[in-house]
Structure 1
Amino acid sequence: MNIKKMNNEIKYKVIEMEDISQSAKRLSVKILVDSTKKDELKNLIETLTEELKYIDYAKEKTIIKFGNKPYEVIYLLLYSNIRQVNFGFPLCRVQWIDDNCKYKPMKIQYDEIVGDSILIEWQDEFKFFDQIIKENEIGKEEFLKYSDEKFDFIKDTYENFAKLFTELISNKIEFNIYVSEILRLEDALNGSFFDFYGFPDSSVEGLAELHNHLQSAITDVHNVLVVAKNKDYSFKNVVILTKIYLQDAKKNIEQYFELRKSLQ
């Protein structure tokens, strides 16, 4: 969507829009703005929320379920630069829920209400996080070197855990053996989980996305370890949760691999 201008006050650009309808007709939108002034942002939020209620953006299955009725729930995330977008630090989070919505989601925590019951949660710490990221950005070559090293480790660990899990659910190994084998990699995996080497240069397209896939894969694989260690979980819970985390890890590893090929 092209950049638009709002009452000669603030320029904005919709950078992502997603129909997330389930039990209610819902829309999620990410917006890049050129201002951090709350009064200007509130005016924009009111105007955009009203426009988005009636936007023609629904998925086919949403239209089948809800027809052409307006959106009942709208979420907005506003950012002042692409670095904040890449690493998930918005200026504010916004939620609007139609009073007549039958299946209302839980309300977000909010600092104020504007317009037609629009809830705004201001993320005043965004400047702090933005500065931290800016000060710790590293160049493409250096980032890829560290990133690939971590990727190789987490891919090998994932494959090891997946093999152990397959042996566990096929009754080839006992649960206590499974846990002990998982724990053999605890120190190395914790080191990878907590290791910080910097943020990728936001000006290089694709680096932040690569970083996010890697961090998600590391978290997913680390969660397999956390589940295995938790003595309060039943065997059934361990199986269910581990299966989910391994599936998520596999997806992120594959996405990293595919994206990495385009970043030579």
Structure 2
Amino acid sequence: MNKKGKAVLYLNRSQYDEKSINEGKSRRFFEGVIEENGWKYRVQDKDNDIDGEIEVFSMVGETTAKIVKVQLKSTTSVKKGKELITFDCPVKFLNFCDVCDIPVIIVLYDVEEKRAYWLWTQQYIFKVLEKNNGNWRNNTSSVTIKIPIENEVSEESCFYDEIKGISINGINEIQQWRKQDTSEHYFTILEEKDDSNFNNRRISAKIYLERSFATSRDSTIELIKKINAKIKNNRYNKRILEGRSVKSEPDYVWLSFYDDLIQFEYGLPFCRTEWINRKNSPSLFIKDYDQLIGEDNIRVKWEYNRPLQDYLLLNSTSKTYYLEGVREALLFAKSELELLQKLFAEEDISNFYNYIIGKRGEYSSNYILLSDCLPPYECKTLHRALEAALGDLDNLAIAIEGNERNKQYLNYQFISEFYKHLVILNYEIEKIL
């Protein structure tokens, strides 16, 4: 109610907090300096690691088609020494710069003094961090960087000349510094397959991506381009052990990306990609894509599997609880696999048939038991081996119950597999204990 007794409706409004205000100030300051020189500054709101980019123009107003990426940071408490400014830079941003082929600068805006300072991040990584802090990539949150005070963002020719030089020579210099591909620090190829048919060479791979990259789509896109090129150039083919080599590029490359082993184990990639050699060829793996990396002709599909992944993570059992739960089923499977081989070899095969018919219910109940628990990662292969053994026992009982009496078929389909099941089960048990 207001003073006149009338009802007043108060709406909940989003708060324009101090951080947002300071970010706006830094953007307007930097944009003003760039445009003062006749260049363009484009804001990139959707990017996590990049706030905008500078497009450099000539003195007569023609674009040079040269770009420098920008990350803006604002602060009310600059840690300033005599010659250097100390700043705790997010490691996720440095990881992005570590694999980005386009020059990236970070700009630190001092809200109180209304001044800004800049640093070319790739140059700093290769010339300072690599020499003085070689293990910086192991940091989980931030890395301390030092920005020279002389690197001030200003409407002076020295600043514009520096940025122009980076825009012209930056890509070549980055390539020279990277004596080895730094992207190798951030991914592991878990699996590589040749899925070719008569018409097309098709290569697929499953990739484990370091978590700091998986949380940033910008960083992931940079790695996708590099990994796709690597898989293409691997020239892998399934007949390599026969001495067959392939010189041509594949027609298709399909990549699935995971940021933890739970995702990989259950086939829940957070991202899938498809590269097609010929742009007019039809898509076979990704019909509806979220993003197209045009210059590389890579289709990208972002998956939202996190709820299911969280369910698997929360509901998988501990190793102790799991082994206690499957102990009886494991002993039962080993006992039955050994006994049935002996009964099958007896002259009177009727004992074999009658025994299985009598055990039919136990085979089914033990097999169903396994579906009630999610094993810990360490026990996954044991769980699969036990599931396969109990599944064969249950399927054998179903066949016998259905009056299947062809000994040759039963031996080929079931009995010959029992010895393999025993060997694998014993191996997996020894491995995890």
- When normalised by structure 2's length, the TM-score is 0.44
In structure 1, the partner of 2:362 is 188
RMSD: 4.5
In structure 2, the partner of 1:134 is 313
Report how many residues are paired: 245
For residues 90 and 16 of structure 1, the distance between their equivalents in structure 2, rounded to whole angstroms, comes to: 13
In structure 1, the partner of 2:260 is 81
Matches within 5 A, 1:174-253: 181-195=355-369, 196-202=371-377, 206-228=378-400, 239=409, 243-244=412-413, 250-253=419-422
CA contact (8 A) 2:196 2:203 kept: no
CA contact (8 A) 1:14 1:29 kept: no
1:208 deviates by 2.4
CA deviation profile, 1:76-130 (whole Å, cap 9, x unmatched): 3322211222333333555556569xxxxx9447443845776667653x32332
CA contact (8 A) 1:53 1:72 kept: no
In structure 2, the partner of 1:263 is 432
In structure 1, the partner of 2:49 is none
For residues 235 and 73 of structure 1, the distance between their equivalents in structure 2, rounded to whole angstroms, comes to: 45
CA contact (8 A) 1:213 1:253 kept: no
Q: Give the aligned residue type for 1:243.
A: Y
Q: Residues 132 and 209 of structure 1: is their aligned pair in 2 closer, same or farther, counting only changes over 3 Å?
A: same
2:249 to 70, 76, 79: 70
Is 136-145 or 180-189 further displaced after alignment?
Answer: 180-189
In structure 2, the partner of 1:31 is 207
CA contact (8 A) 1:87 1:208 kept: no
In structure 2, the partner of 1:103 is none
Instruction: Confirm or deny that 1:7 pairs with 2:100.
Output: yes
2:289 to 109, 112, 124: 112
Question: Which has the bigger relative contact order, CA under 8 A and spacing at least 6?
Answer: 1
CA contact (8 A) 2:202 2:253 kept: yes
2:228 to 46, 49, 63: 49
For residues 199 and 151 of structure 1, the distance between their equivalents in structure 2, rounded to whole angstroms, comes to: 16
1:18 to 162, 172, 192: 192
For residues 64 and 227 of structure 1, the distance between their equivalents in structure 2, rounded to whole angstroms, comes to: 43
For residues 314 and 428 of structure 2, the distance between their equivalents in structure 1, rounded to whole angstroms, comes to: 25
Aligned to 1:89, the other structure's residue is in SS state coil
Give the gaps of 5 or more residues in structure 2: 1-94, 102-182
Q: Give the aligned residue type for 1:31.
A: I
Is 131-140 or 19-28 further displaced after alignment?
Answer: 19-28
Q: Give the aligned residue type for 1:192.
A: N
For residues 153 and 252 of structure 1, the distance between their equivalents in structure 2, rounded to whole angstroms, comes to: 13
Q: Give the aligned residue type for 2:191.
A: M
Aligned to 2:432, the other structure's residue is in SS state coil
For residues 417 and 265 of structure 2, the distance between their equivalents in structure 1, rounded to whole angstroms, comes to: 20
2:324 to 138, 145, 149: 145
Q: Give the aligned residue type for 1:79.
A: Y
For residues 261 and 299 of structure 2, the distance between their equivalents in structure 1, rounded to whole angstroms, comes to: 24
1:222 deviates by 3.2
1:52 deviates by 0.7
For residues 308 and 397 of structure 2, the distance between their equivalents in structure 1, rounded to whole angstroms, comes to: 29
CA contact (8 A) 1:140 1:200 kept: yes
CA contact (8 A) 1:146 1:197 kept: no
Aligned to 2:255, the other structure's residue is in SS state strand
Q: Give the aligned residue type for 1:64.
A: G
Q: Residues 178 and 41 of structure 1: is their aligned pair in 2 closer, same or farther, counting only changes over 3 Å?
A: farther
For residues 211 and 30 of structure 1, the distance between their equivalents in structure 2, rounded to whole angstroms, comes to: 22
1:187 deviates by 1.7
Q: Give the aligned residue type for 1:112.
A: Y
1:39 deviates by 7.1
Q: Residues 80 and 235 of structure 1: is their aligned pair in 2 closer, same or farther, counting only changes over 3 Å?
A: same
For residues 309 and 352 of structure 2, the distance between their equivalents in structure 1, rounded to whole angstroms, comes to: 42
For residues 246 and 227 of structure 1, the distance between their equivalents in structure 2, rounded to whole angstroms, comes to: 13
CA contact (8 A) 1:32 1:80 kept: yes
Q: Residues 194 and 108 of structure 1: is their aligned pair in 2 closer, same or farther, counting only changes over 3 Å?
A: farther
Q: Give the aligned residue type for 1:145.
A: E
Q: Residues 147 and 122 of structure 1: is their aligned pair in 2 closer, same or farther, counting only changes over 3 Å?
A: farther
For residues 375 and 250 of structure 2, the distance between their equivalents in structure 1, rounded to whole angstroms, comes to: 36
